[in-house]
A and B are shown apart, each in its own frame.
Chain A
Amino acid sequence: MKGLAPLFLGIFGTFAFSWVGLTVIPNWQIGHLNPQSDEEGTDIYPMPQSGMVQQGARVYAANGCIYCHSEQVRAEYAGADIERKWGDRRSAPRDYIFERPVFLGKMRMGQDLANIGARAPAEQESPSPGGGGSPAGSPAGAAQSPSPSTAQPKTQAAQPPESAAQQQQPATSPATSPAVAGPSTGIASPSPAAAPAAAASPGAPPSAGPPWPEQTAGLPPMYSAAWHHVHLYSPRSINFDSNMPSYRFLYQARRISDARSSDALQLTGSDAAPEGWEIVPSYDAKCLVAYMMALNQSHPLKDVRSTGAAAAASPAASPSPAPGGQPPK
């Protein structure tokens, strides 16, 4: 090639072409999305992240969770994500408009986390020293209507008043035996997933949740905040085959002062703290779990078809401003 000018022009042009085509034009198309809302201007989804959730996202970035976990649900024609109950619908660009950084992820050495907050059990009220906690998680397969649990007899503080009408009762009894000292989910980190979340997931037949993961006895309810803490502290106590690293550096051991604090982790076996000590989450750990509990894309989006009986079963559309029941994602 002789001419310098054509060379430079070509080098510049080919780069500019791809830059414009793959970043500028998409930015023009989907770079300025607004959250959707219903007619009254409420029921806004998604909401911006705030508070501990935002800090939790930073902890997620700093510790490289993205290298094993994805946060996107593929459509039914593209993968088995929805069949695995990882979501009711595929993810859409609008789900991520307030995330920074966006953790779409490219690897699934561990589960997809897009709706991990939605899979949490119904919300507990306040920390209950009795250790109770709701019966094991009601994943996407749950609730039809968020009818207040007036019908539910209020057993001790353990029973959350808002347990959705149907709960997932796995074969093994809910692990949160009151015998376990210390509360299960009464951790400072919010568990917004709650009934609204359960309510927001239409579709899957109520009690036929996935046959796994098994609720291991002695552990907090699946995907509750307490469960996340135990999972982060000692993944192999929950699933022996897991190759997730343990994040003990996010936790601190300290002496029990008067009584076990409400934050303390429920650990069993060799992981349990020695007599007189307890393991509590650091602020970073609480933020991380808050972030995960806020990961919830079950709110229906106009852009995307939800699976299953979308029409009837989307009570989420209404009373709760809570989209999938969560504050910001």
Chain B
Amino acid sequence: MNPAGIPLKEPSISAAAGDTGQLERALIDASTRVPVLIFYTSAVAWLILGTLFAGFVSFKLHSPDLLSDISFLTWGRVRPAHMNVMVYGWASMAGMGTAIWLMARLCRTVLRYPLLLVAGAGFWNLGVLLGVGGILLGDSTGYQWLEFPSYAAIILFVAYTLVASWAVLMFRFRRGEQIYITQWYLLGAFLWFPWLYAAGQLMLFVVPVQGVLQAAVGWWYANNLLFLWFGAIGLGTAYYMIPKVIGRPVYSYHLATIGFWSYALFSSWTGMQRLVDGPFPAWMVTASIAATILTLIPVATVGLNHHMTMQGYFPLMRYSPTLRFTVFGAMSYTVFSLVGVLISLRSVARYVNFTEASIAYSHLGLYAFFTMVIFGSMYYIVPRLIGREWRYGSLIKLHFWASAYGIGLMTLMLLAGGFLQGSSMENPSLAFSENVETILPYLRGRSLSGILLTASHFIFAYHFGLMLFGLGRKSTVPTFLNPVEAEGAGAH
């Protein structure tokens, strides 16, 4: 054992050091260390890059002459670069890191075939790097959410099959009879993503569909990615973290089952509502809008389940970073779904389509829900991998509030601005340029929220870096957000 106290392989501990459950978990955690940390570190690096791109994108909308005229920094290229870095770089990799750890824990077996994961991470990083570079140099495919040129997409797909194979193998070797809720979601996510990605690439690039169907396939892909990949990982993580941290069982098995299947069934049919009133047969758009309305079923179900699980334990959010981030994320999931229903109804879409409101919707899902849940899981998992606690509770607090206010402000600015933008577009006596004037103050507000988010991410990255370099706290007590006044006020 090296002086830093971090086990290199399997730790040697005496048999008396705790019950077998703990021993087992410790071994599992130790085995997941390298792959999960690789995914997390890559993810945090992409997060920083993506955040810088995001700031650029946001500022350029109200200061268009900023660094203009440079081809690889033109707004139309940095914007997809930002999105792809965040989606495939940060969110996917952090999500996979968490999912790997959760799978190992829930399969109750030590992580096998770590090389699959390490190779997967390497290829994935390569794919994202090539893809983002390609976009900035002008090779974007022109399809939203699938802008990576083919040379990057194929690498991503290869990386992905490595990770998915690992997941299937782990599942094959799991122990225990019951398959816990989180695993349904994770299994779903690991299977849905490659099918989704393959279908999207096939129908757009290999055997391209005709005309407007390309847009239909594109948005089907985008929404399914949001729900069946990110949403599934996010919900699965929340289903693990919340009961785990508070030590209570999830409220109801039936709710969990209904929640899972209705989620899979209905949210996969959304996507076309983003193309409302477009050149499509009406039934396609209507089907998606109806599906969006029906997603209220899983939202209500999962929300109720979590709420009842947390009943009486909300005060713990004061102390536990994991709980705070996760519950924030889970609540945001509800808000995100409600906003989604609202803006997809045709009567509202008339005013909201083609505006910044859809950006608000995407960010609510990807950031307020998914990213916050993942932050919570990282705050839980990283100490278990490194053997140190997070160093500064104050930094965690700062991270939380900067993120929360940041995304809250962004959502507000973009939804409000979006409605106003849409209303002014609907008024034909207003010149189009007035449209831009209307939304400008809201774009500036969004840039302000971007500053908050940037600060938050840099704080997190710094804090994570400290952990990575072994500079965390050596302690048996976890890092709480606020000092624990008395014993028994809720351990981690």
Taking the complex as formed, is B98 at the interface, i.e. its CB lies under 8 A from any CB of chain A? no
Q: How far is the CB of A93 from chain B (nearest CB, A)?
A: 5
Query: Which of B2-10, B46-54, B75-83 participates in binding chain A?
Result: B75-83
Closest beta carbon of chain B to A186's beta carbon, Å: 25
Q: Is A242 an interface residue (CB 8 A)?
A: yes
Tell me, in angstroms, the Cα distance from A12 to B64 when the chains sit together. 46
Bound CA span A189–B184, Å:
57
Asked if B403 is an interface residue, CB under 8 A from chain A, the answer is no
Residue pair A212, B69 in contact (C-beta under 8 Å):
no
Q: Are A248 and B433 in contact (CB under 8 A)?
A: no
Other 14 A-B pairs with CB < 8 A, given A245-B75, A246-B65: A1-B178, A7-B184, A15-B264, A22-B216, A22-B220, A23-B199, A23-B209, A91-B279, A99-B211, A107-B356, A108-B435, A212-B433, A235-B64, A247-B69
Give chain B interface residues in 275-305, CB to chain A under 8 Å. Answer: 275-281, 284, 287-288
Please, what's the 1-or-0 string for B34-76, where 1 marks a CB less than 8 Å from any CB in chain A?
Answer: 0000000000000000000000000011101100111100111
Please, how many angstroms separate the alpha-carbon atoms of A83 and B439 in the complex?
21
- Mask of A93-104 contacts with B, CB within 8 angstroms, 1/0: 111111111111
Say yes or no for A213: interface residue by CB 8 A criterion: yes
Q: With A26-B213, A212-B432 in contact, do A7 and B187 touch (Cβ < 8 Å)?
A: yes
Contacts of B350 in A (CB 8 A): 78-79
Q: Could you list 14 examples of A-B contacts with CB < 8 Å?
A: A14-B268, A64-B80, A70-B354, A79-B350, A84-B432, A91-B279, A96-B212, A100-B208, A104-B215, A106-B353, A236-B65, A243-B61, A245-B64, A248-B69
**Which of A74, A80, A101, A111 has its CB near the most chain B CB atoms (within 10 A)?**
A101
A4 close to chain B: CB less than 8 A: yes
Q: Is residue A21 within 8 Å, beta carbon to beta carbon, of the partner chain?
A: yes
| B288 contacts A22, C-beta separation under 8 Å | yes
Contact of A101 among B192, B214, B277 (CB under 8 A): B214
A94 to B68, CA, bound (A): 37
Q: Which residue of A lies closest to B191 (CB)?
A: A11
Q: Interface digits, A256-298 against B, CB 8 Å rule (1 contact, 0 not)?
A: 0000000000000000000000000000000000000000000
Q: Which residue of the partner chain A has the closest CB to B203?
A: A23
B188: Cβ under 8 A from any A Cβ: yes
Pair B71/A249 contact, Cβ less than 8 Å: yes
Q: A53-66, CB under 8 A of B: which get 1 and which 0?
A: 00001101111111
**Chain A residues touching B, range:** 35 or more
B428 to chain A, nearest CB (A): 4
List CB contacts (< 8 Å) of B204-250 with chain A.
204, 208-217, 220, 224, 228
- Interface contact B213-A30, CB-CB below 8 Å: yes
How many angstroms from the CA of A177 to the CA of B40 in the assembled complex?
A: 62
The answer to whether residues A64 and B432 also contact, given A22-B216, A91-B279 and a CB cut-off of 8 A, is no
Q: Is A313 an interface residue (CB 8 A)?
A: no
Tell me whether A18 and B269 are in contact in the complex, defined as CB-CB below 8 angstroms, given that A102-B211, A104-B212 are known contacts: yes
CB distance from B485 to the nearest CB of A (A): 41
Quick one: which of A1, A236, A248 contacts B184, CB cutoff 8 A? Answer: A1
Bound complex: CA A79 to CA B276 (Å) = 11
Chain A residues, CB < 8 A from B261 = 10, 14
Contact across chains for B268 and A15 when beta carbons are under 8 A apart: yes
Bound-complex Cα distance A11 to B74 (A): 41
The answer to whether A22 and B269 touch across the interface, beta carbons within 8 angstroms, is: yes
For residue B177, which residue of chain A has the nearest CB?
A2
For residue A181, CB closer than 8 A to chain B, the reply is no
Name the residue of chain A whose CB is nearest to the CB of B257: A1
- Find A26's partner among B195, B199, B216, B224 (CB 8 Å cutoff): B216
Which residues from A are CB-within-8-Å of B437? 241
* A120 beta carbon closer than 8 Å to chain B: no
Within 8 A of A (CB), among B353-395: 353-356, 358
* A11 in complex: contacting residue of B80, B192, B346, CB < 8 Å: B192
Q: Which of A239, A243, A246 contacts B69 (CB 8 A)?
A: A246
User: Do A17 and B268 have beta carbons less than 8 Å apart?
Assistant: yes
Question: With the chains together, A107 CA to B208 CA distance in Å?
Answer: 24
User: Which residues of B line the A interface, CB within 8 A?
Assistant: 60-62, 64-65, 68-71, 74-77, 79-80, 138-144, 177-179, 184, 187-188, 191-192, 195-196, 199, 203-204, 208-217, 220, 224, 228, 257, 261, 264-265, 268-269, 271-272, 274-281, 284, 287-288, 346, 350, 353-356, 358, 421, 425-428, 431-433, 435-437, 439-440
Bound complex: CA of A212 vs CA of B346, how far in Å? Answer: 29
Does A31 belong to the interface (CB within 8 Å)? yes
Asked if A212 and B212 make an inter-chain contact with CB atoms under 8 angstroms apart, the answer reads: no
Shortest Cβ distance from residue A91 to the other chain B in the assembled complex, whole angstroms: 4
Q: Cβ of A62 and Cβ of B138 under 8 Å apart?
A: yes
Task: Return the 8 tightest CB-CB contacts between A and B, nearest first.
Answer: A64-B76, A61-B142, A18-B268, A78-B277, A96-B211, A108-B354, A14-B264, A83-B428
Tell me the interface secondary structure of chain A in the complex: loop
Our pick among B62, B217, B288 for the contact of A23 (Cβ within 8 Å) is: B217
Whether A92 is near chain B, meaning CB under 8 Å from some CB there, is yes
Residues of A near B141 (CB, < 8 A) are: 61, 101
**Alpha-carbon distance between A10 and B264 when the two chains are bound, in angstroms:** 9
Complex interface: chain A residues within 8 A of B208 (CB): 100
Question: Complex Cα distance A75/B279, Å?
Answer: 9
Which interface residue of B70, B204, B435, B436 has the most chain A CB atoms within 10 A?
A: B436
Bound complex: CA of A289 vs CA of B224, how far in Å? 35
Are the C-beta atoms of A61 and B213 separated by less than 8 Å? no
B436 touches A30 (CB 8 A): no
User: Which A-chain residue is minimally distant from B83 (CB atoms)?
Assistant: A67
The answer to whether A22 and B277 have CB atoms under 8 Å apart is: no
- Residues of B within 8 Å of A84, CB to CB, are 425, 428, 432
Contacts A14-B264, A22-B284, A108-B355 given; does A80 touch B75 at CB 8 Å: no
CB-based contact B211/A213 at 8 Å: no
When distances are taken between beta carbons in the complex, the residues of chain A under 8 Å from B191 are 8, 11-12, 15
- The contact string, 1 if C-beta is below 8 Å from chain B, for chain A 101-120, is 11111111101000000000
Chain B residues lying within 8 Å of A247, measured Cβ to Cβ, are 69, 74
Residues of A29-73 whose CB lies within 8 A of B? 29-33, 57-58, 60-68, 70, 72
Contact of B281 among A29, A62, A79, A235 (CB under 8 A): A29
| Contact residue among B77, B192, B280 (Cβ-Cβ distance under 8 Å from A93) | B280
The answer, among A12, A75, A108, A241, for a CB contact under 8 Å with B425, is: A108
For A31, what are the chain B residues with a Cβ–Cβ distance below 8 Å? 209-210, 213
B237 to chain A, nearest CB (A): 18
Judge whether B268 and A62 touch: CB under 8 Å. no
Which of B196, B216, B228, B272 has the most chain A CB atoms inside 10 A of its CB?
Answer: B216
CB nearest neighbor in A for B434? A241
Residue of A nearest to B72 (CB): A249
Complex-state Cα separation, A21 to B268, whole angstroms: 10
Cα(A208)–Cα(B448), bound, Å: 43
- Chain A residue numbers with a CB within 8 Å of B70 are 249
CB A51 to nearest CB in B, in angstroms, measures 19
Measured between alpha carbons, how far is A97 from B277 in the docked complex, in Å?
18
A68 proximity list for chain B (CB < 8 A) = 76
Does A244 make an interface contact (CB < 8 A)?
A: yes
* With A21-B287, A212-B431, A241-B437: A79-B277 Cβ-Cβ less than 8 Å: yes
Nearest chain B residue, comparing its CB with the CB of A74: B277
